[in-house]
Chain A
Amino acid sequence: MPASTEPYVLNIGPQHPSTHGVFRLRVVMDGEVIRDLDMIVGYLHRSMEKLAEERTYTQNIPFTDRADYLAAMSSNLGLALAAERLTGVVPTERSQYLRVIFAELQRIASHAMANGTLISDAGAWQTPLLYMFREREKILDLFEMTCGARLTTNYMRIGGVSFDPPPEFWPALAELVAELPERIDEYFELLTDNEIFLGRTRNVGIISPEDAINGSLTGPALRGSGVPWDLRKAEPYCVYDRFDFDIPVGTVGDVYDRFMVRMEETKQSVRILQQAMAEIPSGPHKNDVALALRPEPGEIYSRVESPRGEIGFYLVSDGTPAPYRFHLRAPSMINLSLLREMGVGSSLPNAVVTLGSLDIVVGEIDR
């Protein structure tokens, strides 16, 4: 009798070590080969967009912390900029620099988390993750010094930032910025020449530039495919046009390229931090703005470059203090959409590593 096989359904998640939160994959497998793959989201849905319609623009800033909880500063910044454009409030000069400093610190922290978990997904028992947490911890300490919170910072305000950093912030930041390049080189040394890591990540989960653009990917996932698109350069917000930095782009578009783009972006963030620290002017950190702003009726779409890609805010005002419509363009959600193309036909370990390289945050996907 010939042996007959049949595909079976493997349910990965919502509780699984490598789904980065409560995210579920329904995989049809034939042995170790993935035949079909469904992504099921919604386990962390908190009705954020609807709740936002009941609150003023300032009251909505804490929601953005909870959306992308690994890059709260970037989401804060996105909403603050969108609300400023809608209401016509101008932030102070010093706050512009502070926003850049905190957004870049957040980018370093988030990339450390992303790359660390990617290596853990590749099976490295968390050692690189914990080493990368060493830097992330120092950055979170800086956040705590400034605004009292480590994860959900709620730092950006319409017209500025909520607090000016305390005096001890600056030497700590200078120390961190001085030691970061050394640390990044250490990771390069440890990981980029590791045969097993190269074997696991090179030529796995390739996205072509065409596919990446058609799938409207953003962030390191897009730049890993070789498309030099970074909102900090393409349409500079805050004072990014005053800083000198490069956009790293990958050449193949595989998991390894996305990893390396994140590592290189960390280096570029350090460059921005050095310049911002040197050039920051003195002055007030915040303009006094009415708590319940009543923008003219109208709509605005404003976007910033978060560590995960383009995080956009679509706000519609009807003249009341609360937005009529509040929509968040979540980069994780859209980057995830190509997982099916990459996963089908590959094996389970490859799919797990590919998912890790997309760096999803489920809070942002489900909102």
Chain B
Amino acid sequence: MSDQPLRRPATPMLQQIAARPTMRGTLLGVPLGVKVIGALFGLAFLALNAAIAYVVIDGRLDGKWYDFRDLGNAVESLRGWTEDEGFHPGVIYGISALLGGLGILSLVGVWLIIGPWVERRVIAKFQIRVGPNRNGPFGLFQSIADALKLMQKEVIIPRGADRFLYFVPPVMIFVPALLGWGPIPWAEKMAYIDLDVGILFTIAISSLGVLAVFLAGWASNNHYSLLGAMRTVAMMVSYEIPISLSLLSVAMLTSSMRLSQIVAWQGHYHVWIIAILPFAAFAFLFASTAEINRTPNDIGEAESEIVAGFYTEYSGMKGGLFMAVELGNAILVGALMSTFFLGGYTMFGLEEWIPGYIILLTKILAVYFLFVWLRATLPRFRLDQLMGFAWKFLIPISMVQVFVVAIEASVFARVTAPALFTLGAFAIVNLSITILLVKLWADRLGYAVIQHPTKPVLTQAVGGLRAAERIRKPA
């Protein structure tokens, strides 16, 4: 052994990476003048915002269309102005719808460019890698390059495929992915369509996507696609129920199916429903990962088993559309989760100071980070385990929860005690009931946590069958 310093051989690849200017290097290389001008612009932007905030909060101007905190007011005042001018109601609604639709489309569109980058960079951090960092600043243009590549690729129609049905699903699957954004409130008066049956609409829309999935699996004329479609349909059928039951609890507790009122309820009592209904939140999150085909429930497109599931045969941008919808659905579920359980656009009074849509966006990204985290960490369930979990575990406990919440909701409507006290009591009661139920039900199912899984036996002996028996049954 020598005391020479450790030297690892640098591979040509590593040398190339080391020789290439990094992002930090390029930032340092920016001329001073550009930096100063950039800093001045940044300061000016902050000062402008501060001035507007000061004016608005000070009450000199009450919230009008230029109030940047609440984009909903902009549409509201636009509508007011068109009404005053005596336009036809159709025009008014048309303009509002166009603005809202543009908003949703641009949100999803921007996300489709940033989302893959976020996912790949975060997963790379989990996997002690670097992730995409070559195209554009921090590799941000990687998704654009990927999309361009996908568009250039040939769309191959497999022999024996149903040509019409083969082309429909990639388009069809986009419909629920965009419609689902409709009733989500982004700020106080900022929802594309503030339905009074928002929960019903959400549940109805979320089960539409399975149609496209099944069509894709069927029309591809491929066994992998069909297996993936079958798995997805079975999973959707199972997991619609826990989702509906957990949303039913939320609706009963807040006595509203209107999403904006659910958020307003949480803002009014300064509480997140996840604190009152922890099991409903868990059931919703778990079932949602099953619905949008994400780890640990991604059995519909389990790569190591059925290649890519229902979209195995889709090449080029057709396959890219399926992946895009998956990504869009991930933040849609994040938005629903935030709206129902995490207080939506409210943040304990912070929404007075920060635009509600930014708060909601932060929450969506937090939920999305959770999804990425799960994907980077957990193995996949098996189909039968997943079905068993839904039918044997989630659904019975969710049903009991619905009964408990029904009692609590009627109590809440009748008692005159302070809401903080009542809701705190509900939270404690629900948490204890959930823990007790989960424990009892798991015992009843015969499930026990494997505390110390069997470790291999260490032996010095060598031999065949007899030695094996001796090790198995020591004398």
Chain A residues within 8 Å of B, Cβ to Cβ: 8-11, 16-18, 29, 31-32, 119-127, 130-131, 134, 141, 144-145, 167-168, 170-172, 174-175, 192-200, 202, 209-210, 213, 223, 225-230, 233-234, 246-252, 256-257, 260-261, 264, 277, 347-350, 352
Contacts and interface: CB of A to CB of B under 8 A. Distances in A.
Contacts of A195: 449-450
Contact of B464 (A32, A126, A213): A213
B15 interface: no
A18 B128 contact: no
Interface in B440-475: 449-450, 453-465, 467-469, 471-472
Contacts of B224: 10
A257 B384 contact: no
A264 B463 contact: no
A206 to B, nearest CB: 13
B9 interface: yes
Contact of A228 (B295, B377, B468): B468
Contacts of B450: 193, 195, 198, 202
Interface of B: 1-9, 11, 123, 126-129, 223-224, 227, 230-231, 295-296, 298-299, 302-307, 375-385, 449-450, 453-465, 467-469, 471-472
Contacts, number: 185
B380 A123 contact: yes
B383 A198 contact: no
Contacts of B307: 16-17
Contact of A124 (B379, B458, B464): B379
Given A127-B126, A226-B471, 13 more contacts: A18-B304, A123-B378, A124-B377, A127-B377, A130-B128, A167-B4, A170-B1, A196-B378, A196-B381, A246-B458, A261-B456, A277-B1, A348-B227
Nearest to B461: A228
Nearest to B295: A125
Contacts of B463: 227-229
Given A209-B468, A247-B459, A249-B456, A124 B380 contact: yes
Given A127-B127, A127-B377, A131-B128, A144 B9 contact: yes
6 contacts: A18-B305, A123-B298, A171-B1, A171-B6, A226-B471, A251-B472
A256 B453 CA distance: 9
Contacts of B468: 209, 225-228, 249
Contacts of A247: 458-462
A158 B117 CA distance: 52
A279 to B, nearest CB: 12
Contacts of A174: 1
A183 to B, nearest CB: 12
A170 B126 CA distance: 31
Given A134-B128, A194-B378, A202 B462 contact: no
A174 B4 CA distance: 13
A194 B298 CA distance: 17
Nearest to A267: B458
A178 to B, nearest CB: 12
A200 B378 contact: no
B129 A121 contact: no
A11 B375 CA distance: 28
Contact of A198 (B382, B453, B471): B453
Contacts of A248: 456-459
Nearest to A249: B457
B126 to A, nearest CB: 6
A122 B6 CA distance: 37
A200 B380 contact: yes
A295 to B, nearest CB: 30
B454 to A, nearest CB: 5
A132 B64 CA distance: 58
B453 A123 contact: no
